[in-house]
């Protein structure tokens, strides 16, 4: 059960308290939807070139493949030609936590993600606050 992206160059963690009871997958779908929003598509596909599946699927959340799961967590993953990305959603001990990890597989990752990470760090807390299972 690997929950952390091996060799990650970037990782951040955001949390908020929760009182609702839901599975980690339900929380992941509350955060990201069954398919990516237009804004998420622009960032994930357009800027990062992430390979996302099209359409809703039991094996994906917002186009990200469900890579693994445990009783209180779910790990989503995808890749582009220059990076590997994981989203780990954990719902445990009254906390909802989103961990984002990226590994730069080519030099382009070092150039593209740092400026986008500033946008990500501004948007992630609001994403957590707005999530309702």
pLDDT value of position 2: 59
**Is residue 1 scored above 50 in pLDDT?**
no
For the chain, which residues make up each domain, given as ranges? 10-130
Predicted TM-score of the model (pTM):
0.94
Q: Please, which residues have CB within 8 angstroms of residue 125's CB and are 6 or more apart in sequence? A: 14, 16
Partners of 65 in the β-ladder: 60, 77
Dist CA 112 CA 105 (whole Å):
12
Distances (CA, A) of 26 to 4, 18, 72: 20, 13, 11
Instruction: State the fold for domain 10-130.
Output: Alpha-D-Glucose-1,6-Bisphosphate; Chain A, domain 4 (3.30.530)
Per residue in 87-129, pLDDT (tens digit) is 999 999 999 999 999 999 999 999 999 999 999 999 999 999 9
Question: If you average pLDDT over every residue of the chain, what do you get?
Answer: 94
């Amino acid at each position: 059960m690997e929950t952390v992206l091996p060799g990650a160059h970037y990782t951040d963690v955001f949390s908020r308290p929760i009182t609702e009871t839901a599975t980690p997958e339900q929380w992941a779908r509350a955060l990201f939807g069954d398919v990516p929003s237009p804004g998420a598509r622009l960032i994930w596909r357009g800027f990062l070139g992430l390979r996302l599946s099209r359409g809703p699927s039991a094996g994906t959340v917002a186009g990200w493949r469900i890579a693994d799961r445990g009783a209180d967590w779910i790990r989503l993953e995808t890749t582009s030609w220059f990076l590997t990305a994981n989203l780990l959603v954990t719902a445990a001990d009254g906390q909802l936590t989103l961990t984002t990890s990226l590994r730069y597989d080519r030099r382009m990752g070092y150039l593209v993600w740092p400026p986008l990470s500033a946008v990500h760090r501004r948007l992630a807390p609001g994403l957590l606050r707005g999530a309702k299972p």
